[in-house]
Amino acid sequence: MRTDYDAIVVGARCAGSPVAMLLARRGYRVLVVDRATFPSDTVSTHLIHAPGVAALRSWGLLDEVVATGCPPIERYSLDFGPFTIAGRSQPVDGVTTAYAPRRTVLDKILVDAAVRAGAEVREGFTVEKVVVEDGAVVGIRGHGEGGGSVTERAKVVIGADGRNSHVAKAVRPEQYHGKPMLQWSYYTYWSGLPVDGMEVVIRPDRGWGAFPTNDGLTLLVLGWPYAEAAAYKADTEANYLKTLELAPAFAERVRAATRVERFTGGSVANFFRKPFGPGWALVGDAGYNKDPITAQGISDAFHDAERCASALDQVFAGGRPFAEAMAEYQRDRDVHALPIYEFTTQMARLEPPPPEMQQLLGAVHGNADAMDAFVSVLAGSLSPVDFFAPEHIGRIMAGAVAA
Ligand SMILES: Cc1cc2nc3c(=O)[nH]c(=O)nc-3n(C[C@H](O)[C@H](O)[C@H](O)COP(=O)(O)OP(=O)(O)OC[C@H]3O[C@@H](n4cnc5c(N)ncnc54)[C@H](O)[C@@H]3O)c2cc1C
């Protein structure tokens, strides 16, 4: 009986199950382990913008998400107080729609897709140790629920085990572009709170977003600067509700709704990690983590899965050197991620926009194309590099002057 795998994936959620599925679909022997058993919830507001939805569609999984009754989100609106910017995401492979499926729903669909593709999935399996021989990772040691420890070996161990990655702790990769925690948010679910797509409200030092999810519920997440986290935590419910009064009409709608779950919240640090080394790779939050304010994490995890699976395919089937293929994976990830990372970490400070930005936003407001473009930055379908390019800004400002 063969006991060795081409790849062992630690973590079976947004990064792990897709990378396992994509490798298994190419015919590789893949083992995926997760200490969770699915369906399983996790701390996440689970909005998936058009780029992530396009990935789900290309994998043949979007219909399953839609079939759960999760409503489509076509419109994003950002209420800055004096004005609201509203628009639609630019298409990504023809997709302009976002969805916010519960993680109990999404992650189960992903795990099942990995199984259907031929990956071996062990739920309720905790990795205790990354096995290293002669300076290279060669496997994992771990145990199932109530079972004894076993060792499994593979050509590569992929850490898809989240921002506190056990695999990353074992291999201690270079970490770069680090920033501290920037905002503290709490979210919960409401019934009787209809929303028009995704509604975002931005006020000085405060911000919130609401969007529809499964079971007719609306998720409402509300952030304070990290420096005020202790004060926010001191009376979560009162602070959450009081903050909504900064937009009285919105607060009125929430007063008419019913909270159906407890508050969940927290904060995360911001960093990139080198995502490969001898015998190991990192995907998803394990390799690149950022504040959730722009909701990029799930789409990023999907893209990591695609890039990593394609790099490993080049190594396994094409004989391309591992370090070369994986360096390209890292480069592509970072080139794509860095501009939106800077935008995200700036936004997560919840500081009022500087005067030039206020002027620009004033010019964007009311210009349908510019509003779609701004919304697309948030959706991850237009790079901030393109939006903030001098020619693009020039066109927006000229439009404002002409108007
Ligand atoms: C408050 C908050 C809100 C967010 N909102 C959004 C949003 O709206 N949209 C969005 O796109 N992203 C959002 N994110 C980010 C998003 O949740 C993550 O980017 C995404 O979950 C990353 O997926 P992952 O597979 O890399 O890791 P995870 O989802 O963290 O999964 C890691 C898995 O690894 C398993 N694991 C860990 N250690 C071990 C071990 N030793 N042995 C076995 N298994 C192990 C865990 O059980 C877990 O199932 C949010 C994050 C937070 C914190």
Going by CA atoms, what residue is nearest to atom 38 of ligand 1?
A: 161
pTM value > 0.95: yes
Q: Is 306 helix (H, G, I), strand (E, B) or coil?
A: helix
Point out the residues of the chain with pLDDT beneath 50: 1-2, 403
Cα 13 to averaged position of ligand 1 atoms, centre (Å): 7
Amino acid present at 264: T
Cα 14 to averaged position of ligand 1 atoms, centre (Å): 7
- pLDDT tens by residue, 2-12: 458 999 999 99
Residue 102, ligand 1, Cβ within 6 A: no
pLDDT, position 401? 60
Cα 230 to averaged position of ligand 1 atoms, centre (Å): 24
pLDDT, position 399? 83
Cα 285 to averaged position of ligand 1 atoms, centre (Å): 7
Residue 160, ligand 1, Cβ within 6 A: yes
Residue 36, ligand 1, Cβ within 6 A: yes
Residue 301, ligand 1, Cβ within 6 A: yes
Longest alpha-carbon distance in the chain: 74
- pLDDT tens by residue, 212-269: 999 999 999 999 999 999 999 999 999 999 999 999 999 999 999 999 999 999 999 9
Residue 219, ligand 1, Cβ within 6 A: no
Cα 271 to averaged position of ligand 1 atoms, centre (Å): 15
- Beta strands 125-133; 218-225: pairing state: unpaired
Are 140 and 157 contacting, i.e. CB atoms less than 8 angstroms apart? yes
pLDDT, position 4? 86
**Mean pLDDT for the chain overall:** 97
- pLDDT tens by residue, 331-377: 999 999 999 999 999 999 999 889 999 999 999 998 999 999 999 99
Residue 200, ligand 1, Cβ within 6 A: no
Amino acid present at 101: P
CA angle 323, 334, 10 (to 5 degrees): 65
Going by CA atoms, what residue is nearest to atom 16 of ligand 1?
A: 297
Going by CA atoms, what residue is nearest to atom 3 of ligand 1?
A: 44
pLDDT, position 256? 98
Alpha helices in 201-296 (DSSP H): 229-234, 236-244, 248-255
